[in-house]
């Protein structure tokens, strides 16, 4: 029996990817085809399966990739092939999103469909600008209308006399290009020229801009400040509340563009912290962490674990890969009985504690030199046997330091890092278009691979005004050797320490 296709008209929300509905996220993960619009945040496509077909059908100001008829045909074609199709639309599908037209086409073709509402920018934009569209002191009504309709036409659908006198908050979508005509019509039909107006460009995004004025001067301000679509226009006394209720644009890192170079699987944690503080984060994973081709050496050492006095873990990755092989060899934490555990850094310590282990030693500074110093002051190293499972190309300082102190050390590579060139061209193009304020490095490898990806010449062109921030002295030394000036270094050589260093640097710059 032939599989039945279905089309889901899904509202992507106003731009902030966190504002899509749970149902919308579920459908994106299950979709076989996604047809998305210009105003959809590309980060939402991260939820889509690698096997799904993704089609851009964007319609921006005065520029259409596909006509509405072509979009309709796409939906019909894939649905008739038995595909689960998500039509991902900015805002809400049924609020100036032409979702009603697309649904009608599907009904006529007898194709099953579902509508998943989205948060409209008509409400979210003002909210993110600190403007409540209704307020007991001002109005209990809000009117949402298109600003795209040309008010100079002989036949218009908007009743300007009623609009200008109905005492509700007016919200215009797609109206920036028509602002002079909107202002003229409102004043002509009796609205006071001193009524407050706000224009919110790229609402709910990290580069949101909010311009305020009055009906009398807002069109001139839009031109002077070069405000372009997409934008939400709010007309009414509720705009006055912005002075006290602004929150989104007041976040400490608002509008600051930060590049995170950490491995793809680990980048989201630090990226989200920066985003919560208002930053515009671009993830540019410069390293890819992958298992070794062979674990013959590690497996041999695991079989004689009882010979060792100490295990030293230098990273979370080292912990994870070591315990994977421990399990593969049908062993668990019971086979570590009697072995002392050393961890470099609190994240590594936490990863070990999650495995049910109590860490015996964590140096105050999270570098190899500090480990050697702490061990020397705590135990006798002569003839003690150490197993160090870590990255393939790690520094030799730890190993040589322990050996000089008389310890017997076995270093085993449990994973390796390679340059991640996925989407290199697109990433460099984005950086050229909008250079970042800050690039962060969490290891020497991220610094080396960053330069390999973007090219050394770009340090004096694209990144000439960029601040580079490092997680610690070893990473800083590597970055400097590659021609980068380190503007800030984490006091505590951890991810939270790195975030704190970035925040202090950018807040100081703002002042």
Positions marked active-site: 37, 59, 174
Give every CB contact of residue 489 below 8 A, 6+ residues apart in sequence.
469, 470, 471, 472, 473, 476, 501
213: its two tokens: 């004025």
Instruction: Judge contact between 203 and 15, C-beta under 8 A.
Output: yes
* Cα(393)–Cα(390) distance, integer angstroms: 9
* Cα(24)–Cα(88) distance, integer angstroms: 9
57: its two tokens: 């059908």
Distances from the Cα of 69 to the Cα of 66, 439, 506, angstroms: 8, 43, 48
User: Is residue 243 classed exposed, middle or buried when 0-12, 13-18 and 19+ CB atoms within 10 A define those classes?
Assistant: exposed
* Cα(469)–Cα(459) distance, integer angstroms: 14
- Cβ-based neighbour number of residue 68 at 10 Å: 14
CA atoms 45, 46, 50, 51: torsion sign: negative
3-state secondary structure 460-503: HCCCCCCEEEECCHHHHHHHHHCCCCEEEECCCCCHHHHHHHHH
Q: Tokens 């990817």 belong to which residue?
A: 17
Q: How many residues does the chain have?
A: 511
Instruction: Judge contact between 381 and 402, C-beta under 8 A.
Output: yes
**What count of Cα atoms within 13 Å lies in the side-chain half-sphere of residue 69?**
0
60: its two tokens: 């921006």
Give every CB contact of residue 201 below 8 A, 6+ residues apart in sequence.
176, 208, 209, 210, 211, 227, 228, 229, 230, 231
474: its two tokens: 């070893």
């Amino acid at each position: 029996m032939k599989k039945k296709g279905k089309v889901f008209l899904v509202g992507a929300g106003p731009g902030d990817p966190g504002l899509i509905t749970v149902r919308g996220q579920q459908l994106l993960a299950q979709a076989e085809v996604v047809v998305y619009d210009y105003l959809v945040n590309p980060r939402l496509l991260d939820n889509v399966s690698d096997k799904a077909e993704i089609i851009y059908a964007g319609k921006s100001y005065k520029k259409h990739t596909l006509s509405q008829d072509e979009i309709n045909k796409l939906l019909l074609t894939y649905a008739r092939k038995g595909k689960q199709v998500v039509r991902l639309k900015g805002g809400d599908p049924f609020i100036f999103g032409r979702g009603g037209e697309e649904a009608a086409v599907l009904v006529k073709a007898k194709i099953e469909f579902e509508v998943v509402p989205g948060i409209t920018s008509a409400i979210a934009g003002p909210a993110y600008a600190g403007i409540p569209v209704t307020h007991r002191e001002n109005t209990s009504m809000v009117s949402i209308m298109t600003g795209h309709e040309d008010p100079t036409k002989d036949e218009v659908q908007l009743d300007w006399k009623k609009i200008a006198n109905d005492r509700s908050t007016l919200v215009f979508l797609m109206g920036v290009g028509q602002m002079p005509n909107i202002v003229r019509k409102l004043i002509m039909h009796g609205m006071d020229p001193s009524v407050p107006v706000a224009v919110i460009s790229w609402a709910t995004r990290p580069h949101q801009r909010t311009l305020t004025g009055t009906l009398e001067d807002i069109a001139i301000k839009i031109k002077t400040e070069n405000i372009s679509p997409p934008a939400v226009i709010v007309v009414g006394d509720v705009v006055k509340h912005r002075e006290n209720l602004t929150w989104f644009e007041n976040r400490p890192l608002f509008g600051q563009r930060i590049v995170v170079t950490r491995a793809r699987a680990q980048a989201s944690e630090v990226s989200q912290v920066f985003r919560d503080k208002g930053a515009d984060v671009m993830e540019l994973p410069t390293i890819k962490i992958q298992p070794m081709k062979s674990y013959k050496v590690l497996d041999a050492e695991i079989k004689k674990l009882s010979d060792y006095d100490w295990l030293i873990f230098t990273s979370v990755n080292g912990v994870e890969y070591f315990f994977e092989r421990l399990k593969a060899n049908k062993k668990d934490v019971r086979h570590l009985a009697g072995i002392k555990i050393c961890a470099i850094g609190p994240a590594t310590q936490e990863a070990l504690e999650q495995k049910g282990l109590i860490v015996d030693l964590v140096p105050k500074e999270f570098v190899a030199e500090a480990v050697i110093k702490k061990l020397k002051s705590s135990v006798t190293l002569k003839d003690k046997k150490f197993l160090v499972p870590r990255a393939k190309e790690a520094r030799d300082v730890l190993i040589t330091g322990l050996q000089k102190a008389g310890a017997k050390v076995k270093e085993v590579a449990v994973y390796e890092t390679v340059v991640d060139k996925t989407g290199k061209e697109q990433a460099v193009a984005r950086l050229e278009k909008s250079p970042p304020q800050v690039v962060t490095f969490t290891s020497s490898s991220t610094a080396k691979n960053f330069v390999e990806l973007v090219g050394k010449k770009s340090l004096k062109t694209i990144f000439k005004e960029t601040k580079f921030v490092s997680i610690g002295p070893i990473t800083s030394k590597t970055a400097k050797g590659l021609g980068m000036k380190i503007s800030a270094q984490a006091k505590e050589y951890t991810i939270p320490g790195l975030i704190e260093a970035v925040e202090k640097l950018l807040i100081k710059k703002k002042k």
